[in-house]
Copies of this chain bind each other. A is one copy, B any other.
């Protein structure tokens, strides 16, 4: 805060000057808006936006860089002091209260908690959950239940069964056709391609394995790089299919079991998962605003999720997003950059194992979604920002957002986030908004190491770089500000 206040007086003087200058190009902008997406006018629009906003954008990037370690320190507090933030946990409740308090202290126009009821699933005690190779030799295998898994039957005792390693659902079904997965623990050892490609090998694992008669399934952790790391994550059951326990093991152990099977060993495993489901619990989305000057009813949403898997401290997924969207709003506020439309930060609850926060938001604001101009989420890490994934809207929406994105470059602070990539999906929390017709963006950051830490105990504050976090703050603030302030509303 201290640093931001120091830069305020001169920044505000500059901004007043820029307001005056930009008034002179309003006509040009308006003309350009009259034919979105056609090449010559797209060119005019970009030029007009640059003339109107370039100086303000530069001021945002410079001020974001001058936040130094302040946002990162908030992230470290969120991660360290509240720990994991699984739905229904004390850590999540405390983190929601603390974050709302901190945002109020930043002087934002409104900071509210919107109640949401969330499902409760608990991993259970550390000592009662384990996996072991018991034949041909004994070895502990690190294991984590997948989120939502049923426990192994019989508290205090392990399920023991022969194991079979398969590389794909195709191979599993072939085995199933001859009954050779029956009564076994299936080890699903699908080679890493990408998170999107491999996702179904976690989410549908229990269903596919149960269908061929397996008694449990262990999934190769979804990661390109492991230091004996176990990655948890969500999974689901299907009506009419037996619910079997599902866990994740390391890529190292999946490799080893496959090699041992290839060498002709018959593998036996013991598995104990001690997870349980509790009654639904109260939780909340945190909603904070910078109210629009002239169109307060029109909303540009900046979202992230405040819940996290229970195994790490949720610094990357998605504490970084929480801190980034919060500080994007606080930065605009501290710079006196109040846009024409409202910018609303939403910290969603229960993204990881239910999406109750995202759904509750869409229901709570159902009558106002027509006025949701754009929903932006940061849930892919706050590493060096590269641009956005755009989903929803029309070609005019895409053209306008691409024109705004051309402003997201600021060499003095090494920001270059001009990439605008078309996508079919968006951040999970804002996917109900996309379904309701709201154009969406998801922040695209350098993803080089994201899946090394994703859903592991290593999702901790040290993984986030303060300088890159500040760049994300600047990019989110700039994108939200321009879209919330442009003379014409972003077309759908």
Cβ-neighbour of A226 out of B140, B255, B458 (below 8 A): B458
Q: Which residues of B contact A313 (CB under 8 A)?
A: 256
Closest B residue by C-beta to A263: B77
Closest B residue by C-beta to A258: B80
A312 within 8 A of B: yes
Contact stretch, chosen from A47-55, A180-188, A367-375, A449-457: A449-457
Cβ-neighbour of A127 out of B127, B137, B226, B229 (below 8 A): B127
Closest B residue by C-beta to A265: B81
Given the interface pairs A130-B126, A136-B81, A139-B83, the reply to whether A453 lies near B256 with Cβ below 8 Å is: no
B82:A137 contact, CB within 8 angstroms: yes
A178 within 8 A of B: no
Closest B residue by C-beta to A312: B228
A252 within 8 A of B: yes
Closest B residue by C-beta to A260: B80
A102 within 8 A of B: no
Report the separation of the CA atoms of residues A431 and B355 in the bound assembly, to the nearest whole angstrom.
Answer: 60
A350 within 8 A of B: no
Closest B residue by C-beta to A457: B228
Report the separation of the CA atoms of residues A126 and B227 in the bound assembly, to the nearest whole angstrom.
Answer: 19
B137:A81 contact, CB within 8 angstroms: yes
Please tell me how many copies of the chain the complex holds.
2
Report the separation of the CA atoms of residues A26 and B351 in the bound assembly, to the nearest whole angstrom.
Answer: 76
Report the separation of the CA atoms of residues A32 and B252 in the bound assembly, to the nearest whole angstrom.
Answer: 51
* Range of interface residues on A (Cβ < 8 Å): 35 or more
Q: Which residues of B contact A81 (CB under 8 A)?
A: 136-137, 260, 263, 265
A38 within 8 A of B: no
Cβ-neighbour of A228 out of B79, B130, B139, B229 (below 8 A): B229
A461:B227 contact, CB within 8 angstroms: no
Report the separation of the CA atoms of residues A140 and B460 in the bound assembly, to the nearest whole angstrom.
Answer: 14
Q: Which residues of B contact A457 (CB under 8 A)?
A: 142, 228, 250, 252
Q: Mark A114-150, 1 if CB is under 8 A from B, else 0.
A: 0000000000001100100000111110100000000
A347 within 8 A of B: no
Q: Which residues of B contact A227 (CB under 8 A)?
A: 225-229, 452-453, 456, 458
A460:B256 contact, CB within 8 angstroms: yes
User: Would you give the shortest CB distance from A131 to chain B, in whole angstroms?
Assistant: 11
Q: Which residues of B contact A312 (CB under 8 A)?
A: 228
Cβ-neighbour of A76 out of B83, B142, B259 (below 8 A): B259
Report the separation of the CA atoms of residues A313 and B133 in the bound assembly, to the nearest whole angstrom.
Answer: 14
Q: Mark A218-232, 1 if CB is under 8 A from B, else 0.
A: 000000011111000
Q: Which residues of B contact A229 (CB under 8 A)?
A: 227-229
Q: Which residues of B contact A91 (CB under 8 A)?
A: 137
A255:B456 contact, CB within 8 angstroms: no
Q: Which residues of B contact A82 (CB under 8 A)?
A: 137
A380 within 8 A of B: no
A462 within 8 A of B: yes
A99 within 8 A of B: no
User: A residues touching B (Cβ–Cβ < 8 Å)?
Assistant: 76-77, 79-83, 91, 126-127, 130, 136-140, 142, 225-229, 250-252, 255-256, 259-260, 263, 265, 312-313, 452-453, 456-458, 460-462
- Report 14 cross-chain contacts, Cβ distance below 8 Å, ordered by A residue: A79-B256, A80-B256, A81-B260, A126-B140, A142-B457, A226-B227, A227-B458, A228-B457, A229-B229, A250-B458, A251-B462, A252-B460, A252-B462, A255-B461
Closest 10 CB pairs of A and B: A228-B458, A228-B457, A227-B227, A127-B127, A252-B460, A227-B458, A227-B229, A80-B256, A255-B462, A83-B139
Name 20 extra pairs, CB < 8 A, besides A83-B137, A227-B228: A80-B260, A81-B137, A81-B265, A82-B137, A83-B139, A91-B137, A142-B457, A225-B227, A227-B229, A227-B458, A228-B312, A228-B458, A228-B460, A250-B457, A250-B458, A251-B462, A252-B458, A252-B460, A252-B462, A259-B461
